[in-house]
Amino acid sequence: MRLLHVICSTDPQSGGPIEAVRRISEVLLRDGHEVQTVSLESRDEAAQRDLPFPVVGVGRGIGRYGYNPALTRWLAQHAHEFDVAVLHGLWNYSSLGAWRALRSQPTAYFIFAHGMMDPWFRDAYPLKHALKQAYWRLGEGRVLRDAKAVLFTCEEEKLRARGVFHGFQYTERIARLGTSEPDGDPAAQMAAFYAAMPALMGRRFLLFIGRIHPKKGCDHLIEALAGEAPQLPPDLDLVMAGPDETGWVPALQATARRFGIAERVHWPGMLQGETKWGAFRSADALVLPSHQENFGFVVAEAMACGTPVLISDKVNIWREVEAAYGGLVEPDTVEGARSLIRRFVALPKDERGRMAQNARQGFLLYFQAGAAAREFARVIEAR
Q: What percentage of residues in the chain have a pLDDT greater than 70?
A: 100
Return the pLDDT at 181: 82
Residue 207: count of CB within 10 angstroms of its CB: 27
Q: pLDDT (tens digit, 9 = 90+) per residue, 345-381?
A: 999 999 999 999 999 999 999 999 888 899 899 999 8
Return the pLDDT at 290: 96
Mean pLDDT, the chain, rounded, equals: 94
Confidence of residue 12 (pLDDT cuts 50, 70, 90): confident
Q: pLDDT (tens digit, 9 = 90+) per residue, 185-240?
A: 999 999 999 999 999 999 999 999 999 999 999 999 999 999 999 999 999 999 99
pLDDT at 23 over 90: no
Return the pLDDT at 136: 96
Return the pLDDT at 204: 97
- Domains by residue range for the chain, with CATH: 2-178+369-381 (3.40.50.2000), 186-367 (3.40.50.2000)
Q: pLDDT (tens digit, 9 = 90+) per residue, 287-339?
A: 999 999 988 889 999 999 999 999 999 999 999 999 999 999 999 999 999 99
Single-letter amino acid, residue 184: G
Whole-model pTM? 0.81
Q: pLDDT (tens digit, 9 = 90+) per residue, 252-274?
A: 999 999 999 999 999 999 999 99
Return the pLDDT at 85: 98
Mean pLDDT of 135-144: 96
Order of strands, sheet of 327-330, starting from the edge strand that comes earlier in the sequence: 265-269, 236-241, 204-209, 285-288, 309-312, 327-330
Mean pLDDT of 143-165: 94
How large is the greatest C-alpha to C-alpha distance in the chain, in angstroms? 64
Return the pLDDT at 296: 85
Contact status, residue 171 vs residue 149, Cβ threshold 8 Å? yes
pLDDT at 178 over 90: no
* Between 18 and 95, the higher pLDDT residue: 95
Return the pLDDT at 151: 96
Confidence of residue 283 (pLDDT cuts 50, 70, 90): very high
- DSSP, residue by residue, 301-364: HHHHTT--EEEETTBTTHHHHHHHTSEEEE-SSHHHHHHHHHHHHHS-HHHHHHHHHHHHHHII
| Cα 107 to Cα 96: distance, rounded to the nearest angstrom | 16
Q: Calculate the alpha carbon distances from 271 to 176, 207, 211, 217 in Å.
A: 25, 11, 11, 19
Confidence of residue 383 (pLDDT cuts 50, 70, 90): low
